[in-house]
Structure 1
Amino acid sequence: MNNKLIKEIKDYMISITVALVIALLFHTYVFARATVQGPSMQPTLHNNDILFLEKISTETSNVKRGQIVVFDSKDENGDYYIKRVIGIAGDTVEIKNGHVYLNGSMLNESYLSSNNITEPSTDESKYIVPDGCVFVLGDNRTNSKDSRVLGPIKIKDLKGHAVVRVFPFNKATVF
């Protein structure tokens, strides 16, 4: 082999390595793909919907009410759940008369189906969100394991928030 060919192979290897490192960093800290499993976010999201998540806001603890987030459930199966952020640190979330109240005001939840009723999962109906946490609920309240059962979710357990649904193609949506 001549030196020119060896140099060219070396240059390609360096380029490929740099591209892989950038892709890995991008996937780890910026964007990720997620597939919805189960009915807990209906009617907003359905089983097998494919989303892209933005991760920077969760890495910097810049999470906002209304965002759809993916988090580590910490269950024995290592499941990840997808839910909507209802309350952030310092908020009081109360569930009464089938509705959710945030800091004393009833939430206008236009993303819920019209027959959706929110009930507390236990005798507890009032939650104060601690620092470093969020309170999440599924949009399908009668079929969702969320903060009513799991308690507040630590921001460090959030894996990202949904920015776009890419599949099915006819339901592509920017959140």
Structure 2
Amino acid sequence: MDFYINEETAWLRKSVSWIVNVVVVLACAWFLVYGFGEQVKVSGNSMQPVLDGGDVVLTDRLSYVIGKPQRFDIVVFEREDGKKNVKRVIGLPGETVQIKNGIVLIDGEPLKAPAQLEQVSLAGRAESPVQLSDGEYFLLGDNRDSSEDSRFANVGNVTLEQISGKVWLRFLPLLKIGFISGKERS
């Protein structure tokens, strides 16, 4: 009993309690991040200016277990060749996507987005209307001139099964750490 009352050992008890609390918080954070998320390194500059090549982001795998990708979400998907890519959702299931005269059309109407996301210099396979089936998405990189995305046959329409999660946090480089909401259409 004297151990808990003695002033000389009170600092030891407080220190041990503080260290245990920090370890428990770190363990919980680690479990949440790696249990429901995934760490992905962005390759290339196809998502500039929002994400640069070499940035490391965390994805939320749980959001698409309980919900569906929305237009302008930034997602991680696995290509047929096994590579992980980061792109923005443009076309949703059941829609028709076409790129005509440099403008992205959704069901024949211009995409309502800032000009830098609307303009596309190369239409690729979207020169003709691309009909998305149930569970298929049309993805584009923000840096349209430097992006290998759904416009090209080697990527094509992306299924919900290929999408592993929604990008929610850039944590490397540390100087650019911050949340990514999908609304960053700068």
Q: Give the TM-score category using the shorter length.
A: 0.7 to 0.9
1:127 aligns with 2:126: no
How many residue pairs get aligned? The number is 152
Matches of residues 5-154 of structure 1 in structure 2 within 5 Å?
23=31, 27-28=34-35, 30-60=36-66, 62-75=68-81, 78-110=82-114, 112=116, 117-122=120-125, 124-149=127-152, 150-154=155-159
For the pair shown, the structure with the greater C-alpha radius of gyration is 2
How far off its partner does 1:110 sit?
A: 2.6
> 2-side partners of 1:122 and 1:56: how far apart?
32
Q: Structure 2 counterpart of 1:145, which letter?
A: E
1:163 aligns with 2:154: no
- Cα gap change, 1:72 to 1:46, in 2 (>3 Å): same
CA contact (8 A) 1:61 1:155 kept: no
Give me the TM-score of the superposition, normalised by structure 1: 0.75
Describe the superposition over 1:46-103 as per-residue Cα deviations: whole angstroms up to 9, x where unpaired.
Answer: 011111111112234511111011111111xx21111100011111111011111122
- Cα gap change, 1:152 to 1:60, in 2 (>3 Å): farther
Give me the TM-score of the superposition, normalised by structure 2: 0.71
Structure 1, unaligned stretches of length 5 or more?
1-18
> 2-side partners of 1:79 and 1:123: how far apart?
23
* Secondary structure, aligned partner of 1:156: coil
> 2-side partners of 1:93 and 1:63: how far apart?
16
> 2-side partners of 1:142 and 1:161: how far apart?
23
What is the percentage of aligned positions where both structures have the same residue? 34
